[in-house]
Amino acid sequence: MVKKRVIPCLDVADGRVVKGVNFRNLREMGEPVTLARGYSELGADELVFLDITATLEGRGPILDVIRRAADELTIPFTAGGGVTGVEDARALLLAGADKVAINRAAFEEPAILGALADEFGAQAVVCAIDARGGEVVTHAGRNPRRRSAVDWAREAVERGAGEILLTSIDADGTRTGYDVSLTRAVAEEVEVPVVASGGAGEAAHLVAAFEAGAEAALVASIVHERPERLPELKAELEEAGWPMRR
């Protein structure tokens, strides 16, 4: 049986990992590939690099991070954040990302998903969906799009997405748990893996997401604060009956 995955997410700004609250008070955490290697050694199943400044400053710094990550890491990783179209996504994949996450650009031009799946295979194409109260939102949650996240997830998969990264904007940063009902609704609707994101605070939250049908769970602030939390989390999940990779 395929193992459930625990995936630390690294926010990258201008080539450095940063941490902030609602994109403000950004504090520098360190060099992305060094931190990524640390998580890898602590048992991360996969990683996500999210370029939070991409749309403002261009792609140079993150492409360099991706190339070095591809050379040095021995676990898979997704690159995303501000991907504006096919060319952006292709650049990240050619730099060595195993998967690329596309959010708003795919919502506004869904054919992008098919174009990338044709060239790189569906397994390389992650459709990132941010939702609030079940509705798709874009622009870091500022713009509601009057479309149900479940409905958009179904279309995204039909068009070629091989994975859905589902973030609850309401839960993000709260550490009060993933949006389990939304995760369940999307996981029942699509046949591709669903990654739950936003709200992880303790192992019970990941358990709830897995029970709802998520194949993987994104973690951020809980492991950034104390990276040793990662192997503890995995041990707790194993104890709760979810087989983890060894």
Partner 1 sequence: MKVAIADYGAGNLRSLSSALVRAGAEPVVTVDADVVADAPLAVIAGVGHVASAAAGLARHGLDEALRGRVDAGRPVAGICVGLQLLFGESEEGGRGIGLLPGGVLRVRARRVPHMGWNTLHATRPSTTLEGLDGADVYFAHSFAVEPEDPSDATATVDHGGPLVAAVEHGPLAGVQFHPERSARAGSRTLENLLRWSRSA
Q: Which residues have a catalytic role annotated?
A: 11, 130
CA distance 227 to 230: 6
CA distance 7 to 208: 16
CA distance 147 to 145: 6
Of 35, 52, 160, 49, nearest in space to 98 by CA = 49
CB of 195 to partner 1, least distance (A): 10
Name residues contacting partner 1, limited to 192-221 (CB under 8 A).
192-193, 215-216
Of 23, 18, 80, 14, nearest in space to 49 by CA = 80
Among 21, 56, 94, 240, binds partner 1 (CB under 8 A): 94
CB of 144 to partner 1, least distance (A): 30
Q: Is 121 in the site for partner 1 (CB under 8 A)?
A: yes
Residue 193 CA neighbour count, 13 Å, CB half: 19
Binding mask 23-62 for partner 1 (x = CB under 8 A): -----------------x----xx----------------
**Which residues form the interface with partner 1 (CB under 8 A)?**
1-5, 40, 45-46, 67, 70-76, 90, 93-99, 118-124, 162-163, 191-193, 215-216, 245-246
